[in-house]
Chain A
Amino acid sequence: MEAFDILLTASFWVAAIRIASPLIFATMGELICERVGVLNLGIEGIMMAGAFAGWVTVYAGGDLWTGVFVAALAGSAFGLLHGVLTGPFGLSQHVVGIGITLLATSLTYFTYRVVLPEVSSPPKIVPFQPLEIPLLSDIPVVGPALFNQTPLTYLAFVVVGLVAWVLYRTPLGLALRAAGENPAAVEAQGIGVAAIRIGAVMAGSALMAVGGAFLTMSAFNSFFFEMVNGRGWICIALVVFGSWRPGKALLGAILFAAFDAYQVRLQQLAGGVVPYQVFLMMPYVLSILALVLVARRASYPKALMIPYQRGER
């Protein structure tokens, strides 16, 4: 059965992990935001800003890791704006989020045009190259998929571990989670909810931006307007799919990416009998199905989307 054989090829799993990488970063970013009670709909624009900031840094002569850092910085700047508007100012998280997406997208394009007023095709950089980890990459199928990727992919997995560890094993994590469940209790401990939330949104936004930077600095080597192409919105669904837990969200990202890598390969087998749109739709449909099955039991942060005003009851 040819359709099943695809699943056993190493190149399929390599592609799945590669497609998943930007999603993992951004999903972790969104997860941090939501765990402190802030829905960050700025994700799509922040990814775009990160994609541009990282790429343009390298284009201007910076090295790749400087690019990643600048992307994270750009992301956290938008995070600060989001955090301040939704925190101390108590504005609607939906409106602010969409506003940030619009602002970041437009600002990115504006900056792009200012930096590169006259180009016929977007200039290229030398992106991250796959880094083979000796021995481990020789394991059949799993080896190349997990241990012959670019450094940014490895970083994505490290980030998942780090987020999980901080959230569940540190006092900071306890404060973060409490800010999303019962902010008044956090306040009662003498910890500022606004500071916790703003800090978390900044950190989360930085991760989203790095996810965007993956697109221009690892998956591809130049910047295109609109190249984020809805990946941010996917990550919001992945957070729900993962029941706001890093490990499950990681699984969701890989699952979605695997569907995506699978549909591309399946398209050719069907020989044009099934319209191509059906295949393009497949990862989304399957994600919705998975979401329906999984998310029913999910318990979301109780204070999600509720602005917290000090002293207010």
Chain B
Amino acid sequence: MSAFHFHSKSLLVSRRRLLQVAGTGAAVAATVGFPGRLLAADPLKVAAIYTVPVEQQWVARIHKAANIAKDRGDIEYVFSENTSNSDYERVMREYCEAGHKLILGEVFAVEDAARTVAQDYPDTAFLMGSSFKPDDAVPNFAVFDNYIQDASYLSGLIAGAMTETSNIGMVGGYPIPEVNRLMNAFMAGVREEAPDAKFQVAFIGSWFDPPKAKETAFAQIDAGADIMYAERFGVSDAAQERGVLAIGNVIDTQADYPETVVASALWHFEPTLDTAIAAVNDGSFKADDYGVYSFMKHGGCSLAPLGTFEGKVPEAVMAKVAERTAAIKDGTFTVEIDDSEPKPS
């Protein structure tokens, strides 16, 4: 996901704006603070720190879950978006100082610094997107990630049944574990339905360059791909323009591409967040790996409804998807977690 933003100028840009946002957030939280309300019914004070705008797919899912929890009255929620990695540690500290009890975020590029902050604020719980495992030496620092390989695999089955050229195009940002494992699970699904499938895999070296993603997708379509795995914005646009199909990832974009996006593997952050909120509230929060709460059996991921493609996907494969979904949920079928970089074939 969106870790490595130091390739761009965002390092420098948002500092002032961020100071402002963080400062106001902290001030509001400190002064308002709901003084009259006490006891267990108090909403938990949650602050999130994102390195990208909340439009980014991965972060959008976290943001959505937090807003749902806020609307339910479980939490008070503030956030800083587009925080550069060089500012990340400082913003974490500001939220800790302001009295937030649960800090959400993504520390893919600031793993060590974030853990140092956690050690300095042992009474604050940290739930961070991370490539590393939890460490008991930092007991208040738990990790999560989008382990939605179950849904990606199912979307692969559909793609495998839908492809006519047996040529699948895949455009990703960077080959990091968060991206690779979904691509690999998808490819495993495709291969099950279309054993001779050929994969074109490309990475564009950026999280936010839809024109480049689109150009890359065009190139793959020119080379015969008839289904595009849309890891980045821009890919579905190319598919739409050329009249080929696309498989969505993390968010459901079918409404924008009704004739193009067949199925999407959705990530639901709610189980992860709700588990953490409950743990903080009852004092049982510890250095756990919350990754499993993105698994299908915990409701952390799902296949988006076929929507406009209802009836256009072969029934045989939909029956198989239903059967596998049940098997994944009851634990009789496991989708392999493979973090290695997918290669063209």
Contacts and interface: CB of A to CB of B under 8 A. Distances in A.
Given A229-B206, A276-B202, A268 B223 contact: yes
Interface stretch (B30-38, B210-218, B308-316): B210-218
B124 to A, nearest CB: 27
Interface in A76-126: 101-102, 105-106, 109-110, 119-122, 124
Contact of A227 (B60, B211, B219): B211
Given A122-B55, A226-B8, A264-B216, A106 B211 contact: no
Interface stretch (B9-17, B99-107, B292-300): B9-17
Contacts of B204: 280
Contact of B215 (A105, A221, A261, A268): A261
A222 B12 contact: no
A260 B205 CA distance: 13
Interface string A215-237: 10001111011110110000000
B218 A106 contact: no
B79 interface: no
A226 B10 CA distance: 8
Contact of B210 (A12, A15, A222): A222
Interface in A198-257: 215, 219-222, 224-227, 229-230
A102 B210 contact: no
A233 B222 CA distance: 30
Contacts, number: 114
A192 B207 CA distance: 46
Contact of A272 (B205, B207, B214, B345): B345
A265 interface: yes
Interface residues of B, number: 46
Nearest to A271: B344
21 contacts: A15-B218, A18-B215, A109-B82, A121-B55, A121-B60, A121-B253, A122-B55, A124-B256, A219-B211, A224-B208, A225-B10, A225-B82, A226-B8, A226-B209, A229-B209, A264-B215, A265-B223, A268-B201, A271-B345, A272-B201, A272-B343
Interface in B214-234: 214-216, 218-220, 222-223, 233-234
Nearest to B63: A120
Contact of B202 (A11, A119, A230, A268): A268
A219 B214 contact: yes
A53 B330 CA distance: 52
A104 to B, nearest CB: 9
A226 B208 contact: yes
A74 interface: no
A120 B64 contact: yes
Contacts of A12: 222
A220 B13 contact: no
Contacts of A272: 201, 343-345
Given A221-B237, A268-B200, A119 B55 contact: yes
Interface in B4-62: 5, 8-10, 12-14, 16-17, 52-53, 55, 60
Contacts of A260: 215
A271 B345 CA distance: 6
A147 to B, nearest CB: 18
B134 interface: no
Given A225-B208, A227-B208, A268-B220, 13 more contacts: A120-B55, A120-B251, A121-B253, A121-B256, A122-B55, A225-B55, A225-B82, A260-B215, A265-B222, A268-B201, A272-B344, A276-B202, A276-B205
A36 interface: no
Nearest to B14: A106
A102 B84 CA distance: 13
A109 B205 contact: no
